[in-house]
Amino acid sequence: MDSPNPYAPPGADVQDIYDPTVTLELADRGTRLGAAILDGIIVAAMTYGPFLVGVIIAAAMGSSDGTPNTGVIVGAAILACVGFIVWCWLTIRDVARNGQTIAKKMLGIRVVRSDGSPATLGRIFWLRNVVNGLISIVPLYSIVDVLFIFADERQCLHDKLADTIVVKA
């Protein structure tokens, strides 16, 4: 029989299935550091930038007695909140899609499970960020966390907590 079976179930070519045969290359330590710094700059620019501009405008538009225009400062605070919300939305969207923050996407790295399968948003948010943030209350933990990147596996403690690695995208 040369023709395909008309009673066979439909098939689909799925591109995002985890392939265990693909070897992953760990991200460089410097690239990870650059992404962390760049993420900090991006959130600061999107949050504090509008607020700072608003405060400068409020000071310039102040009354004759030198008091700044409070309406403009309130507007600047609202713009800062909007900037933060936009940053959160962009970050959550990208992390959920492919395990990348804005800076990780720019630098070509991403977070995956240690076996190479995609890391979920919940795993990244709760284990890499929230639990790690709570443990950071312990003195010197943050320094020890970061120093673990110099091991052969290039995993910080927050990576080990979440069973994740950072690889080249």
- Buried b vs exposed e over 83-113: b needs ≥16 C-beta within 10 Å? bbeebeeebeebbeebbbbbbbbebebbbbb
Alpha-carbon distance 133 to 124, whole Å? 12
Number of domains in the chain: 1
**pTM value > 0.75:** yes
Residue 134 lies in a domain: yes
Place of tokens 């943050």: 142
Interval 31-50: pLDDT, tens: 999 999 999 999 999 999 98
Residue 95 covered by a domain: yes
Q: Which residue range(s) make up the domain with 44?
A: 29-168
144 within some domain: yes
pLDDT at 89: 97
Let me know if residue 158 belongs to a domain: yes
Measure the CA angle with vertex 88, ends 161 and 146; round to 5°: 30
- Residue 22 pLDDT exceeds 80: no
